[in-house]
Amino acid sequence: MDIEQAQKLWQPKPGWLNTASYGLPPEPTWTAVQEAMTGWRAGSTSWEGWGESVNRARTAFAGLIGVPGADVAVGVTVSQMLAPVAAALPAGATVVVPEVEFTSNLFPWLVQEERGVTVRTVPAEGLAEAIDADTDLVAFSLVQSADGSVAAYDEIVAAARAHDALVVVDATQACGWLPFDGSRADVVVVGGYKWLMNPRGTAYAYLAPALRDRMRPDAAGWYAGRDPHASYYGPPLRLADDARRFDISPAWFSWVGAAPALEVVAEIGVPAIQAHDVALANRFLTGLGRPPGESAIVTVAVPGAEERLAAAGIRAAVRAGRVRASFHVYSTEADVDEALTALTG
């Protein structure tokens, strides 16, 4: 499926340039959720069918980042998925994080300081160089929420491996438009409601097997069981042998929508989406006299930008006085040009 064909699966109101806040559902996602809600309202179906969507989504996500499905846990939010990783750090461990990191990938480490974990923040552009013999774990966003900058993934991983440090990647603002090899990290966490266009309430975590052995599934419930449907009542503890032991019981309707959205992304292909998204971002930058970049998220300072965009019906974010525009598969050149007219007219 090429981009032109794929765009027929969406019905956005023109001017949506804010996927970095939330993505828009393709038609298969919208339809699946409506059908599930209708069945819920009437009590005409069993929940097990909704639950099957979780493993469809797990498999599709694993394929997007190049890891085995057995190494992927599912949950609700990025910070919730990171909590057992942070709790597994030994007292006295040192974590290195960029200075301007989204707090879902910062607070889980900071709350461990009371038991002796040290969190050291450094400039994002110097992250690889800041990893040293005292570093136990480095955590960073593959694409920064604040400005769309793309991390030097290869250099950071190489520096971490040279010092036997763990690598934790928040790919929430990358997965779905930026191809990358998730297996090179120890942990990859993704909130599904942005570039993967899932309903909110879905999150994914690749957990490398060696790291999982050091983690405790403190939130384990029936869904973390070896056979969830045989784990409803009573002892003994019988958890899954793979990453599923860190699963959280799913919010059914979010996952009903997640599976078809991920499958659409896989069918289009992330490299094709990247080419489309970045081309639109660069059209926007060029129109404002800025040099091109490599990200689907861009930020620019334009006087009165928030008011100008609002007046033109363009929906983008404003962060620290700068316009943050983000472009995805359903974005068009017309969307870009309307935004440029609003900002330069």
Q: Report pLDDT digits (tens) over 228-256.
A: 999 999 999 999 999 999 999 999 999 99
The stretch 195-209 carries a mean pLDDT of 98
Pairing state of beta strands 187-191 and 137-141? unpaired
Pairing state of beta strands 118-122 and 94-98? parallel
User: Quick one: pLDDT at residue 222?
Assistant: 95
pLDDT digits (tens, 9 = 90+) for 97-140: 999 999 999 999 999 999 999 999 999 999 999 999 999 999 99
Of 1 and 328, the one with more pLDDT: 328
* Alpha-carbon radius of gyration of the chain: 21
Q: Does residue 319 have a pLDDT over 80? A: no
Question: Residues 128, 159: contact at Cβ < 8 Å?
Answer: yes
Domains in the chain: ranges and CATH: 3-25+270-344 (3.90.1150.10), 47-266 (3.40.640.10)
**Rounded to an integer, what distance in angstroms lies between the CA atom of residue 238 and that of residue 226?**
6
Cα 200 to Cα 51, 110, 122, 232: the distances in Å are: 16, 25, 31, 27
Average per-residue pLDDT for the chain: 96
Q: Does residue 320 have a pLDDT over 70? A: no
pLDDT digits (tens, 9 = 90+) for 156-198: 999 999 999 999 999 999 999 999 999 999 999 999 999 999 9
pLDDT digits (tens, 9 = 90+) for 245-289: 999 999 999 999 999 999 999 999 999 999 999 999 999 999 999
